[in-house]
Structure 1
């Protein structure tokens, strides 16, 4: 099948776009408003976009509290969502008024940031402390109505890692078991049974691909 996205006449019972762009990491965004009220919300339009320096991005459908707080206070946190935190993460996605603290609503304790004002999730395996760099209003967005799509780009200025997940000098994803967002209302878990390693290929002088060696454990 093929369809043009402007008409979006895919003929399916549900829009397949987000199921195609999957799995997606979940950015569990912690922020604080100008009155000091914490906010916590998960965003699956989230990813790292640079590692020197570290930059991340998350996108919001409509102008939500997280976007306003990030713009007002210029910082936020992103807590890694592991399998054991699924229910708390899901509970924090409830639509509530700005004065509601989603940490409390979801039964989550706060950990204070070392650099930023915003808190992160106490007990998470890792968290990023981020400083707002730029907001991009995508075409068709209207701040006066709060409708549209808004993207936050931020620099990561601090990283928290629970030491028990550092094994042999690496952040051990297999033991962390991070959640991933799939399409529709589906999620996945990354664990030891679905992780594999492979070296990047090289070419010989003739430009042909050489046999790929087993990974030697050194990331280049």
Structure 2
């Protein structure tokens, strides 16, 4: 099968997300200029540079009470900071709870019963028991083609790692089993890891 997205795919569900998978999930926490905290997951997310360490996530929809975007991007525009919390399999249900289109006054930490802690290098909350959290300072927001499509880039200024995830000096993902987004409403979990040496190793 071949299709051009501009002409539609003719299938019951859009296959695009399923083709580009698995995708890591950025559980983005922010604090608005009004002091209200927000937490929401985004699966268009990845690391984009080593030195300095940089990450990006994309928001692709809007809410009526935020105009052209969602709470996360609106807060980042106002404050210039955000945190990305790693989602483990054990947190799948509470993460999913925070994915709702809640009004801007809702604190998703409280809504889902998630413990929060303060970040160290930025004024922002983080998921207290996350396997890892990346504290980020905004470098740029890029408006992409289409309605409400924004890519947010940030430099990582602080890194939290849960002690039980460190094994012999390495961050071991098998200790917490990262959750990944597949297509549609499907998810996956990382349980096995293998190593491949590069030709120039």
Corresponding residue number in structure 2 for 1:172: 172
Partner Cα separation in structure 1 for residue 193 and residue 12 of structure 2: 32
Corresponding residue number in structure 1 for 2:197: 199
Computed over aligned residues only, the root mean square deviation of the Cα atoms, in angstroms, reads 1.0
Corresponding residue number in structure 2 for 1:15: 14
- For 1:41-190, what aligned pairs fall within 5 Å after superposition? 41-62=40-61, 63-141=69-147, 148-190=148-190
Higher relative contact order (CA 8 A, sep 6+): 2
Spell out, residue by residue over 1:75-96, the C-alpha distance to the aligned partner (whole angstroms, 9 max, x if none). Answer: 0101110011111100011111
Contact 2:30 2:38 in 1 (8 A): yes
Spell out, residue by residue over 1:165-185, the C-alpha distance to the aligned partner (whole angstroms, 9 max, x if none). Answer: 110110011112000000000
Following TM superposition, the consecutive aligned residue runs of length 4 or more in structure 1 with deviations greater than 4 angstroms are: none
For structure 1, the 5+ residue unaligned runs are 142-147, 203-219
Contact 2:133 2:159 in 1 (8 A): yes
Aligned length: 194
For structure 2, the 5+ residue unaligned runs are 62-68
Q: TM-score, normalised by structure 1?
A: 0.86
Contact 2:164 2:175 in 1 (8 A): no
Provide the secondary structure at the position in 2 that maps to 1:99: coil
CA drift at 1:201: 2.4
Partner Cα separation in structure 1 for residue 145 and residue 114 of structure 2: 36
Q: TM-score, normalised by structure 2?
A: 0.94
CA drift at 1:51: 1.0
Partner Cα separation in structure 2 for residue 17 and residue 140 of structure 1: 16
